[in-house]
Amino acid sequence: MIAERALSMPKSAIRQFFNLAQGLDDVIDLTIGAPDFTTPENIVNANVKASLEGHHYYSSNAGIMSLRKAIAAKFERDNGISYDPETEIDVTIGATEALGLLMMTLLNPGDEVILADPTWPNYITQILMAGGVPVRVPTYEEDGFSLQVEAVEAAITEKTRAILINTPNNPTGALLEKKSVQEFVELAKKHEVYLISDEVYEKIIYDENEHFSPASLPGAKEVVITVNSFSKSYAMCGWRVGYVAASENVIAPLLKLQEGMASCANTMAQMAAVAALEGPQDAVDEMVKRYKERRDLMVEGLNKIPGISVIKPGGAFYLFVNIKELGKSSQEFATELLKQTGVMTVPGSGFGEAGEGYIRICYAKSDELLQQALERINSFVSKEYSRS
């Protein structure tokens, strides 16, 4: 007999599109949120060196101390937050494990977590796996898809244990302004709930925008939990290294679950992550420059196609494209687009009800592929939906 927890878990919309694409030729995959760049060489070399030197053992649950110290230094340097590497930082298997462990650490069955809709679907899985209840607060294109503090406050109940914010955001690319972040911290303090801040796209931010971490505010550490990762900033998705930082009250019990879940993150990948933080950062700047060019290319190209439109997001590498005028559900549109042109996108409904009427495009792809995708989307939309 299979447990209800697994049987009732919703399937990933991204995964369903993968399956649909099987057997199709000449597919352009704009679904997966993974950088198309390879990991910078200094990081790869540190991994090879660690492997050749025989660092093949488990690390402590919280990760190797040199990495925890490098993460603490990064928090000071980039975010203006002091975390104690001994007690307040845990290295995890990507931000995914950090978030999964967090939900299991914070939630009793029936406890609620408030988050944006549309949302990264894995949050929902993680909350449900922990027996919690996701409470989705819609965000709207008119607000640049930013989560609104008043709407979150209205959703708070006595069962609320945490509010989850993600800036820059997946799937919309939206940023939260510093003022909103400050208000979320105040809200969390007022209602005595945690504020989980997922900052995995922190470095992928454009124009005059700057990332602001809620934990940097005075006294915020008692309520804010910061999650981050090497996956996006350093093109290290496959290495599976992330981290969570919070007060010892949160980290100490979380580490007990870490032992049962996976013991620790890969030791050699952790050593590579030290090189990522302590080595030159120009590769990161170069990747962000390229993402920005691609964002501009795609926003301009898509907005020229009659019947669809997209706002220019301030960060991450996603576009949430409005297809409402075309009169098809996002599922139908994305399916037809894939079958007829080989361009794979994710229907917005896969991210929640508020995502209906949109498709998500990940533009972490080469310029050539993006250009081809634009041409195919253009001819598909013009042919199918020519509004004579």
Residue number closest to ligand PLP, CB atom: 94
Q: Which of residues 105-134 bind ligand PLP (CB under 6 A)?
A: 120
- Write the DSSP string, 98-155: HHHHHHHHH--TT-EEEEEES--HHHHHHHHHTT-EEEEEE--GGGTTPPPHHHHHHH
Distances (CA, A) of 170 to 12, 21, 40, 146: 15, 23, 24, 11
Residue with tokens 């019947």: 307
Edge-to-edge strand list for the sheet holding 112-117 = 89-92, 242-245, 224-229, 194-198, 160-166, 112-117, 133-138
Cβ 269 to ligand PLP, closest distance in Å?
12
Residue (170 or 345) nearer to ligand PLP, CB: 170
Cβ 242 to ligand PLP, closest distance in Å?
4
Residue (223 or 346) nearer to ligand PLP, CB: 346
CA-to-CA distance for 245 and 224, rounded, in angstroms? Answer: 9
Contact between 369 and ligand PLP by CB under 6 A: the answer reads: no
Contact between 200 and ligand PLP by CB under 6 A: the answer reads: yes
Cβ 6 to ligand PLP, closest distance in Å?
20
Binding mask 78-97 for ligand PLP (x = CB under 6 A): ----------------xxx-
The encoded tokens of residue 242 equal: 């992330």
Q: Which of residues 241-260 bind ligand PLP (CB under 6 A)?
A: 242
Pick one of 28, 33, 184, 330: the residue that binds ligand PLP (CB under 6 A): 33
**Looking at the DSSP assignment, which residues form a beta bridge with residue 129?**
none
Cβ 173 to ligand PLP, closest distance in Å?
11
**Contact between residue 166 and residue 116 where contact means Cβ atoms under 8 Å apart:** yes
Cβ 76 to ligand PLP, closest distance in Å?
21
The encoded tokens of residue 36 equal: 């198309």
Residue (31 or 170) nearer to ligand PLP, CB: 170
Pick one of 47, 170, 172, 330: the residue that binds ligand PLP (CB under 6 A): 170
Contact between 173 and ligand PLP by CB under 6 A: the answer reads: no
Pick one of 231, 266, 331, 349: the residue that binds ligand PLP (CB under 6 A): 231
Measure the N-to-C terminal CA separation of the chain; round to a whole number of Å: 56
In 3-state terms, what secondary structure has residue 340?
helix
Q: Which residues, including other chains, have CB under 8 Å from residue 299's CB and lie 6 or more apart? A: 310, 312, 319
Residue (237 or 369) nearer to ligand PLP, CB: 237
Part of the chain binding ligand PLP (CB under 6 A), chosen from 35-43, 45-53, 229-237, 270-278: 229-237
CA-to-CA distance for 358 and 349, rounded, in angstroms? Answer: 8
CA-to-CA distance for 73 and 67, rounded, in angstroms? Answer: 10
Pick one of 88, 112, 198, 202: the residue that binds ligand PLP (CB under 6 A): 198
What are the residues binding ligand PLP (CB under 6 A)? 33, 94-96, 120, 166, 170, 198, 200, 229, 231, 237, 242
